């Protein structure tokens, strides 16, 4: 970092956009009131109540974060292709060693 280096002055267009954005954010901030927060909170509670039938009771369900690869993901085609190429290369090297003996 160079000490004392001056930054270029903002263009008029940048100043206008900055001011417009500031006004927009101020408008949004004024809309966030305690009454609106309470309204949104009750809306969330109603949504949870409406969807309660679809919820899974985790006290009755057993699950683990890590199952020691008992349910590992399928190997992708790309990885399968790389493994195949490596096996071919290994076999070629083995054959080359056998010919040298």
Domain that holds residue 82: 12-56+75-100
Whether the CB-CB separation of 18 and 10 falls below 8 Å is answered with yes
Q: Give the residue, 57 or 64, on which the prediction is more confident.
A: 57
* pLDDT at position 70: 75
Does residue 83 fall inside a structural domain?
A: yes
Could you report the per-residue pLDDT of 6-56, keeping only the tens digit for each? 888 889 999 999 999 999 999 999 888 999 999 999 999 999 999 999 887
Does residue 24 fall inside a structural domain?
A: yes
Does residue 44 fall inside a structural domain?
A: yes
Does residue 61 fall inside a structural domain?
A: no
Does residue 67 fall inside a structural domain?
A: no
Our count of domains for the chain comes to 1
Q: Rounded to two decimals, what is the model's pTM?
A: 0.38
Residue with tokens 């206008």: 16
* pLDDT at position 56: 79
pLDDT confidence tier of residue 2, bands split at 50, 70 and 90:
low
Does residue 87 fall inside a structural domain?
A: yes
pLDDT confidence tier of residue 73, bands split at 50, 70 and 90:
confident
Does residue 49 fall inside a structural domain?
A: yes
**Tokens at 54, concatenated:** 């679809």
Does residue 82 fall inside a structural domain?
A: yes
User: Per-residue pLDDT averaged across 72-97, rounded?
Assistant: 92
- Residues for the chain: how many in total? 101
Residue 69, Ramachandran bin (φ over 0: left; ψ between -120 and 50: alpha; else beta): left
């Amino acid at each position: 970092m160079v000490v004392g280096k001056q930054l270029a002055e903002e263009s008029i267009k940048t100043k206008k956009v900055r001011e417009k954005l500031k006004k927009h954010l101020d408008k949004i901030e004024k809309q966030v009131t305690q009454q609106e927060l309470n309204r949104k909170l009750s809306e969330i509670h109603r949504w949870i109540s409406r969807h309660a039938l679809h919820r899974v009771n985790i006290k009755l369900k057993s699950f683990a974060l890590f199952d020691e690869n008992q349910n590992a993901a399928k190997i992708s085609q790309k990885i399968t292709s790389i493994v195949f190429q490596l096996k071919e290369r290994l076999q070629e090297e083995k054959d080359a060693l056998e010919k040298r003996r």
